[in-house]
Every structure is written in structure tokens, then in C-alpha cells.
């Protein structure tokens, strides 16, 4: 157990971005900024560069441990985002959520960073719409255009993640126990994944945040307990240990 002071530099009553940066990265930050030191200014892309701070999840991965994120919010939300992203705004979920100036200055959205920053073994939660191109029908709500993908850059980040994790370099496994990757979007798909069949698993069970437990469809959406148990069974195979971030909201 540990105690952490989570108030931000510019506010005594903080938000999830500043608090996540505090307890995951070990530094005080300004409100609404993710994975950045206090030198970064909210909403100002150019203050990102050179002020990035690493999280305990990132450090664990560098040490050879397996790492994972489980949340009932979207996986790009502030608390899980502090584990892997460096963003001047917690609201930059996809490129469609970013101002033109930030894109021109070279900042990347949080969904992009989820796939391209730290090699995360298990990613379970909501947030499908930020991963796919605009007008991509959602697999669970194909008739509802409000649930479609939102990306303006045309990238399918789910497909990019799968390709990257399934590549075997030089005909040899990239790491001990590497068995490829799987993506699932409902409880049936999650239940079908055998614990020893993958080294990487991404499960995105809602377009945005997952449903509250009282409203959850138990046949289509897994509970936080089911997600956490699946994550632990996959991560614990690493003899060097694992780090798992779990958030219930």
C-alpha cells in the first residue's frame, strides 16, 4: 500500500488527469494534462515536448514485466491514459477531438499513443470509436451513426495494433511466451480467448465508456471482475512478474 498526494499544481481539487499523473508517474502536474510535468500548459501542444514523464507501467515494461490496463471507462480516459500517454489535454481522445493547431504542431491523440507508445500486453475497457476511421460502423451498434468511428486520419488503430503485435521478427518469437495478439469487442469473444493462447489482448466493449454495473448487459459486456481475472491469467505467465492498472468508475 502507498499514500499519494494528488492535488495538482494549479488546483487543490484536482481532476483524473492530474491525479493519474501523480500516482502513476510520481510528479505533480497541472490539471487536465496527462503524463507531463508541471512545465506543460493545458491545451498548449508545444509545451508537451521535453516535458514527458514516464509511468510505473512504462517502467515495468522496460524491466521485462508484462503490463495491462483494465477500466470500465474508455481506455483513452484520463486515469488509464496517464499510464501511457503524454498529452496537453485529457480530452484529445482521437485526432477529431484535437484543435488544428495541435495537430500541426505534431501532437498525437491519446488513442494513437495507446497503440504506439508503450507495449501494453492487455488493454480492456471501452473506447472503440476513437480507434477507427470516420463512419466506420460499430460492430455492436451498426445502425446507430452516433457510435461510428471518429478518426479523421483514416487510420484503423486496432488493425495497426494487431499487425504490430503479431509480427514475428526473424522467424523467432519476439519475447518468451509470445503467441500473437487478439482483439475482441464483446463478452463472448473475451470468454473464447484461452489464457495461454495470446501474449497480447485488446478488448473494447463499448464505443465510449462501458455501462454502469446496474445497466450492464451481462450477455454482451463483461464485468470488471471478469476483465480483471482474464488480464491476470494472461499477465501472470511472465516469470518476471506483471503490473496491472485497474479502474472501476
Residues 6+ apart with CB under 8 A from 111: 76, 93, 94, 127, 130, 131, 151, 157
Q: By the 8 A CB rule, do 114 and 123 touch?
A: yes
Task: State whether the Cα torsion 105-106-107-109 is positive or negative.
Answer: positive
Residues 6+ apart with CB under 8 A from 150: 94, 96, 97, 129, 130, 132, 134
Catalytic status, residue 16: yes
CA 81 to CA 65: how far, in whole Å?
19
Q: What is the DSSP letter of 51?
A: -
CA 169 to CA 82: how far, in whole Å?
30
E runs forming strands in the chain = 66-74, 122-126, 181-184, 200-204, 242-247
Give 176: exposed, middle or buried? Use CB within 10 Å, 0-12, 13-18, 19+.
Answer: exposed
CA quadruple 115, 118, 122, 126: dihedral, nearest 10: -50
Q: Any idea which residues carry the catalytic annotation?
A: 16
Amino acid at each position: 500500500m502507498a499514500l499519494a498526494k494528488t492535488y495538482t499544481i494549479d488546483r487543490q481539487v484536482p481532476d483524473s488527469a492530474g491525479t493519474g499523473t501523480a500516482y502513476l508517474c510520481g510528479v505533480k502536474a497541472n490539471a487536465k494534462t496527462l503524463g507531463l510535468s508541471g512545465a506543460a500548459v493545458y491545451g498548449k501542444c508545444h509545451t508537451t515536448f521535453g516535458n514527458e514523464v514516464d509511468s510505473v507501467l512504462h517502467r515495468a515494461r522496460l524491466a521485462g514485466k508484462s503490463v495491462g490496463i483494465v477500466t470500465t471507462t474508455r481506455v483513452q480516459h484520463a486515469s488509464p491514459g496517464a499510464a501511457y500517454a503524454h498529452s496537453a489535454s485529457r480530452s484529445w481522445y482521437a485526432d477529431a477531438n484535437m484543435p488544428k493547431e495541435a495537430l500541426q504542431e505534431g501532437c498525437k491523440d491519446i488513442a494513437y499513443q495507446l497503440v504506439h507508445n508503450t507495449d501494453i500486453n492487455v488493454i480492456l475497457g471501452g473506447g472503440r470509436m476513437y480507434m477507427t476511421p470516420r463512419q466506420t460502423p460499430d460492430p455492436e451498434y451498426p445502425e446507430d451513426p452516433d457510435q461510428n468511428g471518429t478518426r479523421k486520419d483514416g487510420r484503423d488503430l486496432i488493425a495497426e495494433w494487431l499487425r504490430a503485435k503479431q509480427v514475428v521478427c526473424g522467424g523467432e518469437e519476439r519475447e518468451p511466451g509470445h503467441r500473437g495478439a487478439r482483439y475482441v469487442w464483446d463478452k463472448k469473444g473475451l470468454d473464447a480467448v484461452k489464457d495461454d493462447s495470446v501474449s497480447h489482448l485488446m478488448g473494447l466493449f463499448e464505443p465510449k465508456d462501458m455501462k454502469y454495473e446496474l445497466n450492464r448487459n451481462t450477455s454482451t459486456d463483461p464485468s470488471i471482475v471478469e476483465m480483471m481475472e482474464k488480464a491476470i491469467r494472461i499477465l501472470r505467465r511472465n516469470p518476471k512478474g506483471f503490473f496491472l492498472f485497474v479502474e472501476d468508475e
